[in-house]
């Protein structure tokens, strides 16, 4: 194994370290996990049907003779789960654990998640509860997973109609970044990841926001730099506060609105990134209405949101028009959000670029930025 | 809240601290958790049908108007699960989490487990994965839970036919010990806890072993001292090694055999303590046969086991006689044990009292101590 490009050291924590590896080459899982290097403790690769079908995965997948969705070869085990946010359930987590159990994996075995945020969140959750914790590595294949989900140790699954209600803090030991994976992504999924990258820019990196303002072409030319900027910004935050007692909460910018939207429209009906992008617009509108931030900054962000195809208005198009009092429904969903500990709703707001605050806001103030017409 | 009698400080860990509180009085949950002291974040009490029916619980339970198995009062919530090891499943864990979610509990809410090892393991597991970790306190009501299960942060549930296959490390913030609860226990359950106490004596506390040798009457007269000795021995071990990388593994003395027995006869068919007692006898017989320990020490322990009603022979009475090659079946179950990371089976052995070693042993050596006739 090479030396990592960076190692995340979780302060005041025994969650260990996470080595970050950036590759300019085309993804080659067969080379990253050579079949001759299998430890006696076993490796367990988990991916989904979409990733398993990619041409760049062919050599690696062909190593296994699949029986149903599971394949073995020596001490290596592969499970291919069905792709999609609707499968981000506790049932899938338990399926991963059950497969590991049936193949006699132990707590010293290595779970390897190869996929987007759904695959990595589920696999990491399963690894964290399997015999009280097995080894974990992640190969993120989407922009969302690279820029956000894979880094920082949050694991989880949806439960009932609510996002990520169950989960643990359990960082991977190593994360392998191949930006070339992104050439395999549908446009909608790519855009979903861009929203988290834009969030990073607004919160921590004015240069990254400038890159967004410079337009899509310029941004894509600098894709690897964008990913690294996101990963490093997140690495710095989680080093200080992996369990989200303090500064890590800033990363929820846009997310109180986004999670409510995703719950109300039904999980999987709107991409997480599109929801977050809309949520950031709502958070900035709220910031303006609370007198925290100048309208000019909000409008500058609105312009970027619109340029990348995101909704800037109070009513997201995915919201069914027939529901009476949609703001009340969204606010009810916000109250179920796990970051809320009291009657008021905690929202991440901005006074301006790179100037972020956490505030508990009364329902009626939030209602205003959700009401159309 | 009073000052704890002792505070467990988990070294090299961010799992926090556990305050230990010992009470000489009769258990009074209504006084321990006064209804007027409810925080805005809410409390969630989880107990089982057996504990909820105890006279000493009457005042506390009557606070709630139960609807089915759930009761609310202001920000307090109560769930009464069905008593029994057969309910130590992931389904029960998810039921606890679902109840918390439906009542809008947050990550700052406090889960309180009131019961034996099943209730505390399940509730602690649910607390650890609920919104990535809620607050946790435990009121153990059985000797097994007081002497072992409640202390040290292991959470979990059975999965498939195997014990504690899923779980986390998640210590309670406070544990409240009322030895007077033990007057409510059936004799079989009391004996189950005694096995873990005897284990503590053999591993760490020669005085405690002497107390066992002095006979039941003497032991029961010193019950509170016995419990404190067990709790403090365990506290010291988990302070050094909460996640079981090193010395904590010694606490598995007898457990490799016990877990295999429990799996093979079916979970809940033999008490955990009876299985551990039998397993300690097997481990000592193996120690003798490997030349580690003198037969006299094994026989001294056999005499104590027999005096308390435990099996000392190679074939536990709960094992169905009709199965061909029972040793092979047990060994197969041992290989699924989460502590085993290789082909050999890891067993905790003793060279003598307070002199314990961990060794990987080949199957054929283990087979000998499981073969009857």
Quote the minimal CA–CA distance from A108 to chain B in Å. Answer: 6
Q: What is the pLDDT of residue A339?
A: 55
Give the one of A14, A101, A167 whose C-beta lies nearest to B12's C-beta: A14
The residues that bridge with A43 in the sheet, in sequence order, are A76, A110
CA-to-CA separations, A62 to A30, A56, B48, in angstroms, rounded: 10, 11, 50
Q: What is the pLDDT of residue A134?
A: 96
CA-to-CA separations, A134 to A95, A100, A109, B204, B313, in angstroms, rounded: 16, 10, 6, 29, 35
Dist CA A358 CA A365 (whole Å): 15
Say how many Å lie between the first and final Cα of chain B, rounded: 58
Q: What is the pLDDT of residue B57?
A: 96
All residues of chain B having their beta carbon less than 8 Å from the beta carbon of residue A169 are 132-133
Q: What is the mean pLDDT of residues A96-107?
A: 93
Dist CA A115 CA B259 (whole Å): 36
Give the one of B41, B159, B160 whose C-beta lies nearest to A341's C-beta: B41
This prediction has a pTM of 0.91
All residues of chain A having their beta carbon less than 8 Å from the beta carbon of residue B132 are 154-156, 167-169, 243-244, 338
Q: What is the pLDDT of residue B261?
A: 94
Dist CA A110 CA A136 (whole Å): 6
Q: What is the mean pLDDT of residues A7-13?
A: 88
Quote the minimal CA–CA distance from B216 to chain A in Å. Answer: 36
Q: Which residues of B touch A (CB under 8 A)?
A: 12-15, 40-41, 90, 94, 97-98, 101, 104, 106-108, 125, 128-133, 154-156, 159-160, 162, 165-169, 243-244, 335-336, 338-343
Dist CA B123 CA B111 (whole Å): 7
pLDDT higher than threshold 90 for residue A41: no
Give the one of A14, A106, A339 whose C-beta lies nearest to B14's C-beta: A14
What are the tens digits of pLDDT across the range A238-247? 999 988 888 9
Nearest CA in chain A to B130: A166
Q: What is the pLDDT of residue A1?
A: 59
All residues of chain A having their beta carbon less than 8 Å from the beta carbon of residue B340 are 106
What are the tens digits of pLDDT across the range A157-205? 998 877 789 999 999 999 999 999 999 888 888 999 999 999 999 999 9
Nearest CA in chain A to B97: A166
Q: Which of B97, B70, B65 is nearest to B81 (CA)?
A: B70
Q: What ipTM does the predicted assembly reach? A: 0.89
Q: What is the pLDDT of residue A186?
A: 86
Quote the minimal CA–CA distance from B69 to chain A in Å. Answer: 20
Answer yes or no: do B132 and A106 touch at CB < 8 A.
no
Residues in chain B: 373
Give the one of A13, A125, A340 whose C-beta lies nearest to B106's C-beta: A340
Give the one of A129, A156, A336 whose C-beta lies nearest to B132's C-beta: A156
Quote the minimal CA–CA distance from B140 to chain A in Å. Answer: 22
Answer yes or no: do B340 and A106 touch at CB < 8 A.
yes
Residues in chain A: 373
Q: Alpha helices, DSSP H only, in B130-222?
A: 143-144, 187-204, 206-213, 216-221
- Tens digit of pLDDT per residue, chain B (373 long)? 579 999 999 987 778 899 999 999 999 999 999 987 767 789 999 999 999 999 999 999 999 999 999 999 988 999 999 998 889 999 999 999 999 999 989 899 999 999 999 999 999 999 999 999 999 999 999 999 999 999 999 999 998 877 789 999 999 999 999 999 999 888 888 999 999 999 999 999 999 999 999 999 999 999 999 999 999 999 999 999 988 888 999 999 999 999 999 889 886 789 889 999 999 999 999 999 999 999 999 999 999 999 999 999 999 999 877 678 899 999 988 987 755 555 689 999 999 999 999 999 999 999 999 987 5
Q: Which pair of tokens denotes residue A221?
A: 């030319």
SS3 per residue for chain A: CCCCCEEEECCCCCCCEEEEEECCCCCCHHHHCCHHHCCCCCEEEEEEHHHHCCHHHHHHHCCCEEECCEEEECCEEEEEECCCHHHCCHHHHHHHHHHHHHCCCCCCCEEEEEECHHHHHHHHHHHHHECCCCEEEEEECCHHHHHHHCCCCECCEEECCEEEEECCECCCCEEEECHHHHHHCCHHHHHHHHHHHHHHHHHHCHHHHHHHHCCHHHHHHCHHHHHHHHHHHHHHHHHHCCCCCCHHHHHHCCHHHHHHHHHHHCCCCCCHHHHHHHHHHHHHHHHHHCCCCCHHHHHHHHHHHHHCCCCCCCCCCCCCCCCCCHHHHHHHHHHCCCCCCCCCEEEEEEEECCEEEEEEECHHHHHHHHCCC
């Amino acid at each position: 194994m090479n030396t990592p490009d960076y190692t995340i050291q979780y302060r005041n924590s025994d969650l260990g370290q996470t080595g970050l590896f950036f590759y300019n080459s085309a993804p080659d899982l067969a080379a990253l996990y050579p079949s001759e290097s299998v430890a006696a403790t076993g490796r367990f690769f988990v991916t989904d049907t979409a990733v398993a079908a990619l041409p760049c995965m062919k050599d690696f997948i062909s190593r296994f003779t699949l029986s149903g969705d599971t394949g073995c070869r020596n001490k290596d085990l592969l499970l291919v789960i069905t792709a999609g946010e609707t499968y981000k359930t506790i049932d899938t987590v338990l399926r991963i654990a059950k497969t590991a159990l049936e193949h006699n994996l132990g707590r010293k075995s290595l779970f390897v998640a190869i996929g987007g945020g759904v695959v990595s969140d589920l696999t990491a959750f399963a690894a964290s509860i399997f015999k009280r914790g097995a080894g974990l590595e992640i190969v993120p294949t989407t922009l969302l997973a690279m820029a956000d989900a894979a880094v920082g140790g949050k694991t989880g699954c949806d439960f009932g109609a609510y996002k990520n209600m169950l989960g643990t803090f359990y960082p991977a030991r190593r994360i392998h970044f191949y930006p070339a994976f992104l050439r395999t992504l549908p446009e909608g999924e790519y855009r979903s990841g861009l929203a988290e990258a834009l969030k990073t820019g607004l919160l921590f990196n004015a240069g990254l926001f400038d890159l967004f303002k410079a337009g899509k072409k310029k941004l894509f030319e600098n894709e690897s730099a964008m990913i690294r900027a996101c990963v490093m910004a997140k690495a710095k935050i989680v080093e200080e506060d992996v369990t989200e007692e303090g500064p890590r909460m800033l990363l929820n910018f846009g997310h109180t609105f986004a999670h409510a939207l995703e719950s109300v429209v039904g999980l999987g009906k709107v991409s997480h990134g599109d929801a977050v992008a809309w949520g950031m617009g709502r958070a900035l509108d709220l910031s303006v209405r609370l007198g925290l931030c100048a309208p000019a900054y909000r409008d500058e962000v609105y312009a970027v949101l619109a340029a990348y195809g995101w909704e800037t208005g109070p009513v997201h198009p995915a919201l069914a028009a027939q529901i009476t009092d949609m703001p009340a429904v969204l606010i009810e969903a916000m109250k179920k959000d796990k970051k809320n500990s009291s009657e008021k709703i905690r929202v991440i707001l901005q006074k301006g670029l790179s100037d972020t605050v956490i505030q508990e806001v009364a329902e009626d103030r939030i209602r205003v930025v959700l009401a159309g017409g």
